Structure 1
Amino acid sequence: MKKKNILTAILVIAIFAAVYGMKVYTDSYKNKNSIVQSNKSESEKNQSTPDKDKEEKQVQETTDYYKSTDFTLKDLQGKTVKLSDFKGKKVFLNFWATWCGPCKREIPDMIKFQEEIKDDNIVILAVNIGDSKSKVEDFVKKNNINFTVLLDEKQQVAIKYNVSGIPTTYLIDENGKLVKWTTGAMEIYMMRDFIK
């Protein structure tokens, strides 16, 4: 009974942390956009020229996105993989762990999704956070995972990406810009919509 209470408390804290992390991320995004809008209003007060209009449009477009943070991790074969190696492709960057129930529910759909996108210009990078290599290898073999799995045993990349709950997935566009993110298990139809 005590174990159930402890597990329930841990789950409640994890959910609170995920919700709080999403709120902080959303608030920072809103603040960034309000600064852009305020800068835009200031510049509208000044005389407008075609060059100024073009410059303002570029600022608006580039501030709507966050640049992804490059990282280097090893895959299960010991090969070094860098995020920047995939420039020119969309990257479906997923953070997960073997003990995570929602991650386990999401994986069969990710396997199907990999089959659908294998000829497209899209790559799935599944970053395992905190598990040992042997544990991940067993899990991958048991579940017939067909996409690239990377090891983040010290959770350094997860920290860089402010991952506060798993599974968390980011979409990085062909230019290396982080354009979307979501926390929680996705079904295949959600994955299709996510990469559009």
Structure 2
Amino acid sequence: MKFAKKIITAVLIIAVAAVAFFYFSKKDQAPIALQDKESSLLDNDRAPAKDFTFRDLEDKEYSLLDFQGKIIIVNFRTIQCGACDTEMDFLKTFVPSLDSDKVKFIPLFLGDKQNAVKTYFRQKNAKFPAYCDDYGLSAIKYRVFALPTSLIIDKNFKVVVRITGAIDWNQEEVSEFLKALANE
């Protein structure tokens, strides 16, 4: 019996060490470009987007359908996510550069309280709107299992691209892709 406990303990220690190794070794990787995300492109004919509600930092409620007719980028994230934090540096330049008449960027904090997000934005000197999904129900609808995950939804409310992981949103191919999508 003691031998079995030792084996179970050893297996658990190895499993925890492996998870920790993979988690910490990926943290220092550079964000990946949109073109490297080919496997994230949806294989179907643009799946219909699923509506959900969320709140801004002033507690005003929105629905994803409120932005139908624009290109919508939903960026699922949390304050504690290391890759999300890295991506925030790119977003501080990218989001203000968007044509707000054509594109709506929704950084959606999952499970983070509005006051915590306000503090985070002040610390990061981010000057664009942020939104909260208190219970993460939107992530369940879209089967978000890793953060950050971004969805690009076209003007017809169809999901065009799903990106898992941090990317440099300021790359030329991103802006070219969004321009092409806006002209469809």
Richer in helix (by share): 1
2:95 equivalent among 114, 129, 143: 114
Q: Which residue in the other structure is 1:55 paired with?
A: none
Q: Is the partner of 1:148 in helix, strand or coil?
A: coil
CA contact (8 A) 1:125 1:147 kept: no
Q: 1:94, 1:11 → 2: CA distance?
A: 26
Decide whether aligned partners of structure 1 residues 107 and 66 sit closer, same or farther in structure 2, where only a CA change above 3 A counts.
Answer: same
Q: Is the partner of 1:95 in helix, strand or coil?
A: strand
Q: Is the partner of 1:99 in helix, strand or coil?
A: coil
1:192 equivalent among 172, 175, 181: 175
Residue 6 of structure 1, CA deviation: 4.3
Show the 5 A alignment for 1:57-76: 64-76=45-57
Q: Which residue in the other structure is 1:80 paired with?
A: 61
Q: Which residue in the other structure is 1:177 paired with?
A: 158
Structure 1, 154-163 or 181-190: larger mean CA deviation? 181-190
Provide runs of 4+ in structure 1 moved above 4 Å: 5-8, 10-13
TM-score (norm 2): 0.71
When the two chains are superposed, the root-mean-square deviation of aligned CA atoms in Å is 2.7
Residue 194 of structure 1, CA deviation: 4.9
| % identical aligned pairs | 29
Q: For this pair of structures, how many residues does the alignment match?
A: 149
TM-score (norm 1): 0.67
Q: Is the partner of 2:131 in helix, strand or coil?
A: strand
Q: 1:6, 1:192 → 2: CA distance?
A: 40
Show the 5 A alignment for 1:87-166: 87-166=68-147
Residue 176 of structure 1, CA deviation: 0.7
Letter in 2 for 1:192: S
Q: 2:105, 2:129 → 1: CA distance?
A: 6
Residue 136 of structure 1, CA deviation: 1.1
Work out which of the two has the higher radius of gyration on C-alpha atoms and give 1 or 2: 1
CA contact (8 A) 1:126 1:149 kept: yes
Q: 1:160, 1:119 → 2: CA distance?
A: 26
Residue 133 of structure 1, CA deviation: 2.1
| Structure 1: stretches of 5+ with no match in the other structure | 16-25, 34-63
Residue 116 of structure 1, CA deviation: 1.4
Q: Is the partner of 2:112 in helix, strand or coil?
A: coil
CA contact (8 A) 1:124 1:147 kept: no
Decide whether aligned partners of structure 1 residues 7 and 155 sit closer, same or farther in structure 2, where only a CA change above 3 A counts.
Answer: farther
